[in-house]
Amino acid sequence: MTDTAIDIQNLDVWFGSGRDRSVAVSQARFAVEQGESFGIVGESGSGKSTILRAIAGLVPTWSGDMIVAGEALGPRRSKAFYRKVQMVFQDPYASLHPRQTVDRVLSEAMGLHGLTDIDSRIPRLMENVGLGPSFRFRFPHQLSGGQRQRVAIARALACSPQILLLDEPTSALDVSVQAEILNLLTDLRRDHGLTYIMVSHDLGVVGHLCERIAVMKQGRIVEVLDVETMRRLEAADPYTRQLLDSSIQSSRSV
Amino acid sequence: MSDPLLDVENLRVSFATRTGIIEAVRGISFTLGRERLGIVGESGSGKSMTGRAILRLIRPPGRVEADHITMHGEDILAASEARMRQLRGGRVSMIMQDPKFSLNPVMTVGQQLIDSLRAHEKLARSECRQRAIAMLDEVAIRDPERVMGLYPHEVSGGMGQRIMIAMMLLPGPEILIADEPTSALDVSVQLQVLDIMDQLVKNRGMGLIFISHDLNLVAKFCDRIAVMYAGRIVECCKASELHKAQHPYTLGLLNAVPDLEHPRPRLEVLQRDPAWREALSVSARS
Amino acid sequence: MTTANLRDWLLSDAPTSRRQARFASWYKGWLTLRSNTLAMVGLIVLALIILAAIFAPVLATHDPYAQDLGQRLLGAGHSGHLLGTDSLGRDIYSRLLYGARISIYIVLLVAMVAPLVGLIVGTVSGYAGGWGDVVLMRITDIFLAFPRLILALAFVAALGAGIENAVLAISLTAWPPYARIARAETLTIRNSDYIHAIRLQGAGPFRIVTRHIWPLCISSLVIRVTLDMAGIILTAAALGFLGLGAQPPSPEWGAMISEGRKYILDYWWVATFPGLAIFAISLAFNLLGDGLRDMLDPKEDTA
């Protein structure tokens, strides 16, 4: 096992073919260390979520080299891959099956990974993400946005993965709930030694959770910088500076 | 302020459901002069319902009650539906969150602008067209002649929202209600759109109600801020005095935002006190 | 447990067991359905017809097959015949009761076969995409392009007249709309995040289609089936009327109308009562279908 959890080289991702082909990501390269938290920021349509989806195997049309958790990725993902890598989606209102209770969602995830004594594991898993046992048999419509996102995180953690792909996990939530979820993610990372790749449009959120940050624009990574450089607003690329500028302006009160 | 544009006293909005009556807004009062009032709160705090209630856009089973809602002394609650249609757009306009859903996808931008103006003023088409183009120019759209002929799917989100602002301001309303006008936009575009809206509102001496979940953003663009929680106003202060805010909820909202420049190992989490729900609404009358 | 306690238990927002969660969601659906008066009327009419079919031997006043040429074409209420007699002197009331069994039998068989075929074809086609989708949907289109009754006629003509063949013919012509609906639903569902999420847990296509997509398609299919029931009964009756469905002397309602047709000007009741029965069951299914649509609509918020 090397120290590199994720190594991406020359990644191209596209949609459609022939004349309709549109390139979503071109020549992306970055590496994430074991236990590191890596952020990807960019505006809508910059291809930041597409990278995560390509790693997770949700977008079949890509080329390049991806080595994730010591496994070189091909067109198909093995079952073992999904035991090591899991994803949390942006919208907790769309990422839970509307007809399944929390219990059903979690037990199915555990069953698929071949875990036993599911009945005793579920309460522990729910406690890990800060959900009391009273939530176990609720349907998604009986949960608030924050609670739903906790369920989605619990589902991703069901198989004790090493790597979590986080696709804007808090952008659909209120700020106070966002704070709770971000704290939860911080705690989980510390307790389980997780590696994160987090995609967000919010520099504040990425800056809070990540140590190194890639900035994307129109499918390309324009700059990778560490969070200290970012806080000192010492970005090399003009686009990054512009992004930092507007983010600082809108968060600084008069 | 001598004569407020809008005066709302003890506004209540409730919905009857199977398990009982849900009160979305529970007795709030505020006035709006020629100023910018920010209404801030989290989802479910009743802030959007307040905006809709003023325009009487709440449909049954929703119920709107108030001691009075007056616009320039005219009672909104008693106005006929025909009169309300005149007022909406003519005197009060509303900008919604996502331009994708507020623009008609099968009509060009120009047609929609012209129609919205002609609905309120009897003008020749050519004159309407000229005013529409001038308006697009005011919201900083380059080459407005060309944009007039575009369909909504051909414009970007930021431009769409500027077009919405142009359309809403075209009939010359006195009050603009902006409900999360930029939360569907990217950060860099957000400020630009808000700046434009802000300039126009100031220059025309209009009253603005800016509804948002983002306390910092509202503080930047408003004169006064009303913070809503569970259907009531828990705190009201001048935007410039936000740092002196007292209510734990307001402070909690301010501290929950991760700040790039001032990192903290843990974010503060709001401890919601049940007493906040029960405390009486603070009046936001000036 | 008292009734009030039971109600609270069912309406609780924090169920404590799998069983409670399941019962609670059923109970909420039942409450929605109950608030729709017309749907309840439909449900009650259907329940009455089903009870009548079950207890036909008890309720019938005569043997439905017993002919009595001396008593032929009697009006309603004559000498103990509640709804009169037909051209062979058989009691119409008793025949209607036994006929309900045949109608319900047909409906049940069709309702089990056609939506199931449609569901399988539609979801597989929608989830697989690509060539599989194209081939399956073109086959569906071919079936859709035929007028239903004519296709059913052709099947019955080829297979021979009889209730089972009529059911088979109706099922074979009824599935394409269900396949269309199921495919359309699948196309929207397959790209949703919860399907992505379960794929990331390593679930295979078979599991995703049967465990995750089917439960969401079934509600719209159930609605469609109840709305189509009327059409199915009418098609079965039409086949009976044309002499290609149930064979005499079986008391199928369509066949009864067909027999009564000859006397319709002088003896109206012979054809009218089976007609009213068909009307009642069709209307009941339609009303119930409307109510189910309100109840099963996945967008409905049970706040």
Residues B33-73: tens digit of each pLDDT? 888 999 998 888 888 888 888 888 888 888 888 888 888 88
The CATH number covering residue B152 comes to 3.40.50.300
| CA nearest neighbour of C39 among C303, C285, C261 | C285
Write out pLDDT tens, residues C47-96.
999 999 999 888 888 888 888 887 777 777 777 777 888 888 888 889 99
Report the candidate in A215, A216, A217, A218 with the shortest Cα–Cα distance to residue A226: A215
* Subunits adjacent to chain C (3 or more Cβ pairs under 8 Å): A, B
Q: In 3D, which of B231, B252, B286 has the Cα closest to residue B36?
A: B286
What is the band of C183 on the pLDDT scale with cuts at 50, 70, 90? very high
CA angle A60, C211, C303 (to 5 degrees): 105
**Mind telling me how many Å the CA of B21 is from chain C's nearest CA?**
11
Q: Pick the residue from chain A with its C-alpha nearest to B192.
A: A246
Residue of B nearest to C7 (CA): B19
Which stretches of chain C are DSSP H helices? 3-11, 18-34, 37-54, 56-59, 92-128, 130-145, 148-159, 163-190, 193-200, 205-207, 214-241, 253-260, 269-296
3-class secondary-structure state, position A215: strand
Q: Measured between alpha carbons, how far is C126 from C184 in angstroms, rounded to an integer? A: 7
In angstroms, the separation between the Cα of residue A252 and the nearest Cα of chain B is 7
Question: Which chain A residue has its CA at the smallest distance from B265's CA?
Answer: A208
B1, part of any domain: no
Nearest CA in chain A to C200: A82
Give the one of A57, A96, A101 whose C-beta lies nearest to C194's C-beta.
Answer: A96
Q: Which residues of A touch B257 (CB under 8 A)?
A: 175, 179, 204, 251
Cβ <8 Å between C193 and A58: no
Mean pLDDT, residues C153-170: 83
Q: Is residue C134 less than 8 Å (CB to CB) from chain B? A: no
A89, A137, A141 ranked by CB distance to C18: nearest: A137
Evaluate whether residue B54 is within a structural domain.
yes
Mean pLDDT along residues C233-249: 80
pLDDT at B242 over 80: yes
Mean pLDDT of C277-294: 86
CA–CA separation, B211 vs A28, rounded Å? 39
Closest partner CB to A137 (pick from C15, C198, C303):
C15
Q: pLDDT-derived band of residue C302, with 50, 70 and 90 as boundaries? A: very low
User: C170 or C148: whose pLDDT is higher?
Assistant: C170
* Average pLDDT score over residue span B144-149: 87
Cβ A253–B258 below 8 Å, yes or no? no
Amino acid code (one letter) for C74: L
Q: Is C20 on the interface with A (CB under 8 A)?
A: yes
The residues spanned by each domain of chain A are 4-251
Helix (H, G, I), strand (E, B) or coil at A27: strand
Beta strand B36-40 pairing with B224-229: parallel
* Residue A86 φ then ψ, to 5°: -135, 165
Nearest Cα to Cα of residue C124 among C206, C47, C221: C206
For residue C199, CA distances in Å to A126, A136, C188 come to 21, 22, 16
Comparing CA positions, the residue from A53, A148, A39 lying closest to residue A97 is: A148
Of A95, A98, A135, the CB nearest to C197: A95
For helices C92-128 and C37-54, give the axis angle rounded to 10 degrees.
120
Mutate to test the interface with A, among C199, C200, C206, C212 (most CBs of A within 10 A): C200
User: Does C24 reach chain B within 8 Å, measured CB to CB?
Assistant: no
Would you call C275 helix, strand, or coil by DSSP?
Answer: helix
**Contact residues, chain C, for A109 at CB < 8 Å:** 198, 201
With an 8 Å Cβ cutoff, is B19 touching chain A? no
Residue A88 has what pLDDT?
A: 94
Residue whose entry in the numeric block shows the structure tokens 């603009």: B176
Q: Which of residues 108-127 of C touch B (CB under 8 A)?
A: none
Nearest residue to A65 (alpha-carbon basis) of A57, A77, A56, A74? A74
Average pLDDT over residues B79-85: 86
Q: Are strands B207-212 and A220-226 parallel, antiparallel or unpaired?
A: unpaired
Collapse the DSSP code of B113 into the 3-class scheme (helix H, G, I; strand E, B; otherwise coil) and give the result: helix
Average pLDDT over residues C261-275: 85
The SS3 assignment for B96 reads coil
CB nearest to A142's CB, from C13, C211, C216 = C13
For chain B, list the contacting chains (3+ Cβ pairs, <8 Å). A, C
Tens-of-pLDDT digits for all 254 residues of chain A? 458 899 999 999 998 888 888 889 999 999 999 999 999 998 888 889 999 999 999 988 899 999 998 888 888 888 889 999 999 998 888 899 988 889 999 999 999 988 888 888 999 999 989 888 888 888 888 888 889 999 999 999 998 999 999 999 988 888 888 999 999 999 999 999 999 999 998 888 999 999 999 999 989 999 999 988 888 888 888 888 888 888 887 766 54
Those residues whose C-beta lies under 8 Å from the C-beta of residue C229, and which sit 6 or more positions away, are: C107, C111, C281, C282, C285, C286, C289
The better pLDDT of the pair B33, C303 is held by: B33
Structural domain contains residue B162:
yes
ipTM, two decimals: 0.89
Q: Which chain C positions have a beta carbon within 8 Å of B17's beta carbon?
A: 303
* pLDDT value at residue B46: 87
* Rounded distance between C-alpha atoms, residue B228 and residue A175, angstroms: 14
* Distance separating alpha carbons of residues A189 and A183, to the nearest angstrom: 10
pLDDT of residue A33: 92
Out of B91-95, B155-159, B239-243, B268-272, give the one with best mean pLDDT: B91-95
Name every chain B residue with its beta carbon within 8 A of the beta carbon of C31.
18
The CA distance from C293 to the nearest CA of chain B, in Å, is 18
What per-residue confidence (pLDDT) applies to C301? 45
Contact A86 C200 (CB under 8 A): yes
C51 touches chain B (CB under 8 A): no
Banded pLDDT at C297 (limits 50, 70, 90) = low
Structural domains of chain C ordered from first start: 98-303 (1.10.3720.10)
Quote the pLDDT of residue A254. 46
Please report all neighbours of A, defined by 3+ CB atom pairs within 8 A: B, C
Tally of structural domains, chain B: 1
Q: Give one DSSP letter per residue of B205-261, joined into a string.
A: T-EEEEEES-HHHHHHH-SEEEEEETTEEEEEEEGGGGGG---HHHHHHHHHS--SS
Q: A44 and B242 in contact by Cβ < 8 A?
A: no
Q: Is residue B221 within 8 Å of residue B206, measured between CB atoms?
A: no
Choose, out of B15, B18, B23, B43, the residue to mutate when testing the contact with C (most C CBs < 10 Å). Answer: B18
Which residues in chain B have their CB less than 8 angstroms from residue A254's CB? 219-220, 239-240
Q: Which residue of A has its CA nearest to B42?
A: A174
User: What's the rounded mean pLDDT across residues B203-224?
Assistant: 88
Classify domain A4-251 by CATH architecture: 3-Layer(aba) Sandwich (3.40)
Which residues are within 8 A (CB) of B146 and not within 5 positions of it... i.e. 6 or more apart? none
pLDDT reading at B1 higher than 70: no
Q: How many CB pairs under 8 A join A and C?
A: 81
User: How far apart, in whole angstroms, are the C-alpha atoms of residue C260 and residue C270?
Assistant: 5
Chain C, 194-223: which have a CB under 8 Å from a chain A CB?
A: 194, 196-203, 211-212, 215-216
The domain of B170 spans 6-284
DSSP letter for each residue of C132-155 = HHHHHHHHHHHHHHS-HHHHHHHH
CB contact under 8 A, C18 and A58: no
pLDDT at C271: 85
Q: Does A56 touch chain C (CB under 8 A)?
A: yes
Mutation target vs A (from C193, C210, C219; most A CBs, 10 A cutoff) = C193
Instruction: State how beta strands A163-167 and A85-88 pair.
Output: parallel
If you measure CA to CA, which chain C residue comes closest to B21? C303
Q: What is the mean pLDDT of chain C?
A: 84
Reported confidence tier of residue B251, pLDDT bands at 50, 70, 90: confident
Peptide bond into B99 cis (omega under 30): no
Angle at A104 between CA A101 and CA A105, to 5 degrees: 90
- Chain A CB within 8 Å of residue B43 CB: yes
Cβ pair A250:B252 closer than 8 A: no
